[in-house]
Amino acid sequence: MAAQIIDGKKISSEIKDELKEKVRILKEEKGIEVTLAVILVGEDPASQVYVRNKKRACEYIGIRSLSYELPEDTTQEELLKLIDELNNRKDVDGILVQMPVPEQIDEKTVIDAISPAKDVDGFHPMSVGALCIGERGFVSCTPAGVIQLLKRSNIEISGKECVIVGRSNIVGKPMSMLMLRENATVTVAHSRTADLKAVCKRADIVIAAVGKPKMITADYLKEGATVIDVGINRNPETGKLCGDVDYDGAVNVAGAITPVPGGVGPMTIAMLMNNCYEAALMHNGL
Ligand code: NDP
């Protein structure tokens, strides 16, 4: 049977349209304007594109975005001062510092400085801790997007064997916590996993977050498995974008699969927007 192609573009558009309506209602009925502060340090071209896309999504949904574009030689002290000001501003719901930051600034110090109440990226240790023990808090956007892709594609998670390949703080680890919360039986694989192929082959759901172009080939997959490809890589041969999964082979074995681009990618911004909305609700005691 042909695999179900999970359309991340369509699902993220649905989420953005739902949010647009919720943001409108919040403004009209309660006078609350959802506000995100976006900080970019330096002129990294990829970061500039990400920031532009985030601002565009805010505009579409009706979220006010405040933009702070700081020079490459900004000191850590200057950045921390700005974060502190934004932490204390009542009219700011979410704060996002686009990563990576220039080398004179320590990424972890920046993450820790953002108030957990405004941590819409979900990277603060308090947010991660809340996720681990099942309390309300912000969830890292990409893994949260994967859950939405699965749920909105009617893919059963509860009781299923899920293998996540990758254990980074922003994808693999929070992903494992979310799948556990959804009652999957979770295995987290990584570069030291012995016989990765055999481990993946027993999975009903494989989530690849490795950063290695087309590493997960069809022979890693059980017939009918759901395959979620978080990877965004450049194909070394063609220079085009590709995932961690060898899509052309995997699509013949998988029951459902996400393409790259157009799968997980578009979900990240949609979930960021959702976190901003949630932040505004929390700040207003809703
Ligand atoms: P990291 O480099 O931080 O982590 C990669 C993980 O993969 C590590 O845990 C590493 O293991 C593991 N790994 C590396 N090589 C192997 C191997 N041969 N076999 C098994 N495991 C391996 O990457 P990220 O988590 O930040 O990103 C992963 C991918 O997802 C990238 O392609 C990135 O571009 C993409 N991404 C996409 C996003 C989106 O919006 N769609 C958002 C974020 C990331 P170990 O810990 O042992 O070193």
Checking if the pLDDT of 218 tops 80, the result is yes
Q: What tens digit of pLDDT does each residue of 102-136 get? A: 999 999 999 999 999 999 999 999 999 999 999 99
Rg (CA), the chain: 19
- The pLDDT, as a whole number, for residue 156 is 98
Mutate which of 190, 228, 273 for ligand 1 pocket (most atoms within 8 A of beta carbon): 190
Q: Is the CB of 233 under 6 A from ligand 1?
A: yes
Checking if the pLDDT of 235 tops 80, the result is yes
Which range is least confidently modeled, 27-36, 150-159, 178-187, 231-240?
Answer: 231-240
- Among protein residues, the one with the nearest Cα to ligand 1's atom 19 is 191
171: its two tokens: 């994808």
Domains of the chain (ranges; CATH) run: 32-115 (3.40.50.10860), 141-265 (3.40.50.720)
45: preceding bond cis by omega (within 30 degrees)? no
- Among protein residues, the one with the nearest Cα to ligand 1's atom 40 is 265
Q: Is the CB of 196 under 6 A from ligand 1?
A: yes
Q: What tens digit of pLDDT does each residue of 240-258 get? A: 999 999 999 999 999 999 9
Q: Where are the alpha helices (DSSP H) in the chain?
A: 8-30, 45-61, 76-88, 107-113, 125-133, 141-152, 172-181, 196-201, 247-250, 265-283
Per-residue pLDDT averaged across 126-148, rounded? 97
259: preceding bond cis by omega (within 30 degrees)? no
Per-residue pLDDT averaged across 135-148, rounded? 97
- Among protein residues, the one with the nearest Cα to ligand 1's atom 4 is 168
What phi, psi does 89 have (nearest 5°)?
-80, 125
Q: How far, in Å, from the CA of 83 to the mean position of ligand 1?
A: 28
Q: Is the CB of 166 under 6 A from ligand 1?
A: yes
- The pLDDT, as a whole number, for residue 195 is 98
Mutate which of 210, 241, 242, 246 for ligand 1 pocket (most atoms within 8 A of beta carbon): 210
Catalytic positions: 54, 98, 121
Checking if the pLDDT of 1 tops 90, the result is no
